[in-house]
């Protein structure tokens, strides 16, 4: 049954503290978690590995989140039904709109969520996927 498979999540975040925070939080819930610290690594991982969910930071070195979404339009992810949720900060409304236009399923405002809220959001996106 689908629900019994371990869900795979890729965290794309250049801030080491946040990346490790999300990784530990989600691994503790039993998810398989992979990480990428820059946009180029992230794009390669999404195109070569299967994930249920990608948490994609917008501001990244080498290639930003919006560009990753654009590139995925050209050469898609390995998992055709992967859910991509952008990690953003307040005041990036125009960027968020562009991310939605490029196929993102939603967004999380990093500064506004405590750990429980992050888990709740992740679970709801995984249920939809």
Token code pair at residue 6? 């371990």
Among candidate residues 80, 72, 83, the one with its CA nearest the CA of residue 107: 83
Write the CATH number for 116: 3.40.50.2300
Kindly report the three-state secondary structure assignment for every residue of 49-102. CCCCEEEEECCCCCCCHHHHHHHHHHCCCCCCCCEEEEEECCCCHHHHHHHHHC
Token code pair at residue 23? 């990784």
Q: What is the mean pLDDT of the chain?
A: 92
* Local confidence pLDDT in tens for the 129 residues of the chain: 344 578 999 999 999 999 999 999 999 999 999 999 999 999 999 999 999 999 999 999 999 999 999 999 999 999 989 999 999 987 788 999 999 999 999 999 988 888 999 999 999 999 986
φ, ψ (nearest 5 deg) of residue 34: -115, 155
| pLDDT of amino acid 129 | 65
Number of domains in the chain: 1
Strand partners of residue 84: 54
What is the rounded CA–CA span in Å between residue 102 and residue 69? 6
Range of the domain at 33: 2-128
Write the pLDDT tens digit of every residue in 46-70: 999 999 999 999 999 999 999 999 9
What is the rounded CA–CA span in Å between residue 96 and residue 87? 9
């Amino acid at each position: 049954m689908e629900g019994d498979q371990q869900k795979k999540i890729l965290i794309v975040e250049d801030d080491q503290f946040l990346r490790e925070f999300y990784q530990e939080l989600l691994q503790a819930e039993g998810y398989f978690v992979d990480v990428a610290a820059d946009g180029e690594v992230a794009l390669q991982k999404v195109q070569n590995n299967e994930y249920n969910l990608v948490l994609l930071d917008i501001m990244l070195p080498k290639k930003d989140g919006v560009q990753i979404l654009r590139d995925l339009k050209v050469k898609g992810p390995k998992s055709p039904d992967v859910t991509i949720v952008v990690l953003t900060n307040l005041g990036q409304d125009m960027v968020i709109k562009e991310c939605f236009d490029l196929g993102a399923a939603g967004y999380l405002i990093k500064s506004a969520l405590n750990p429980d809220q992050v888990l709740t959001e992740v679970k709801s996106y995984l249920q939809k996927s």
